[in-house]
Amino acid sequence: MSEDAAAPAGRRIPLALLLTPIVALAAVGTVADIVGPGLINERPLLQMFMNPRNRYLLLASPQVDAVPFFAVGFVRLVLTDPLFYLLGLQYGDAALRWAERKLGDEGGFIRTAERLFSRFGPVIILIAPSGYLCLLAGATGMRARLFAVLNVTGTVGRLILFRILAETFRDELLSILAFIQRYQWWLIAASLVVVALQSRRKGSAATLRPPSELEEEIEEAEREIAARPGTEGRPGTEAGPPAGEGP
C-alpha cells in the first residue's frame, strides 16, 4: 500500500466518530434483513434505507416513483462509504489488518484486492464501492476527490441499472412481492433463522460489535505494526504525512 496512506495520530478523526455510525447502520441493516418480508410491501422506501441490498432495491423500485427511489437509494448507499474511506486513509495498514481478521480473511480477499488496487483501483470503486473496498481505497492512498467522483458516479449508475431492470421485469417482481405478502410471517421467521446462523460465522458480524471493542482491535493492530522492525514512519504508525500532502 502507499507509504503515506495513514495520517499522524494527532490529525486523525477519533475512531469512535467513524465506527459508531458504521455499527449503528449495520445493526439497522440486520434488523431490516429480518423484518424485510414485512416492510418491503408496506414501507419499501424505509426498507431501502434500512438495508439497501440489491434485492431490496429491485423489489422497491416498482412500488415507488423515480425521484424518491433515487434520493433514498443514493443517500443510503453513500452514507457509510466515506466513513470506511477515512478509516482506511487515517489508519492505513492497521485498518487493513483489522479488516482481514474481521473477515476471517488472512491472506484472502483483502490481500487480493490490495494487489488489484494498484492497477484497477478506480474501476473497482466505480463498480463495487462496498465498505471494505472503500476502506482499501483510503488505505492505498486514493485521492479523496477521485474517490468521491467514482463513488457518486458508481452509485448513480447502480441505481439507474436497477431501475431499468425493475422496469424490464416489473411483472415478475410484482409476482414476487405478492408471494412475499402472502407468506410474510413465515419468511420473517426464516429470515430470523438465517441471520442467527450467519452471525455465528467468523467475520459475519464484524461491524455489529460495540464501537469500543472495534476501536481497541484497530489500535492493537496499529501497535503490532509499529512494533515490527523497520516500520518507523510507515502507514499505521505515528509518523508520516497524510495522503495527498507533501513533507
To the question of pTM greater than 0.95 for the whole model, the response is no
Reply yes or no on whether the pLDDT at 73 is more than 60: yes
| Cell 416498482 found at | 62
Q: Is residue 31 part of a domain?
A: yes
Structural domain includes residue 116:
yes
Would residue 165 count as lying in a domain? yes
pLDDT digits 0-9 by tens, 191-243: 999 888 877 665 545 556 677 788 887 888 888 887 776 554 444 444 333 33
**Which of 10-14, 122-126, 214-218 has the highest mean predicted lDDT (pLDDT)?**
122-126
- pLDDT-derived band at 182 (thresholds 50, 70, 90) equals very high
Cβ burial, residue 47 (10 Å; 0-12/13-18/19+): buried
Could you write out the DSSP letters of every residue in 124-136? HHHH---HHHHHH
DSSP secondary structure string, 181-239?
A: HHTHHHHHHHHHHHHHHHTTSTTTTTTSS-HHHHHHHHHHHHHHHHHSTT-TTSTTSS-
The reported pLDDT for the residue numbered 115 is 80
By the 8 A CB rule, do 161 and 139 touch?
no
Asked if residue 98 belongs to a domain, the reply is yes
- Domain that includes residue 18, residue range: 9-227
Report how far residue 165's alpha carbon sits from residue 183's, in angstroms, rounded to the nearest whole number.
25
**Of the candidates 157, 151, 158, which has an alpha carbon nearest to the alpha carbon of residue 136?**
151
Of the candidates 133, 95, 98, which has an alpha carbon nearest to the alpha carbon of residue 235?
95
What's the structural domain count of the chain? 1
Q: Would residue 236 count as lying in a domain?
A: no
Residue 60 has pLDDT above 90, yes or no: yes
Residue 166 pLDDT grade (very low, low, confident, very high; cuts 50, 70, 90): very high
Task: Evaluate whether residue 153 is within a structural domain.
Answer: yes
Does residue 84 carry a pLDDT above 80? yes
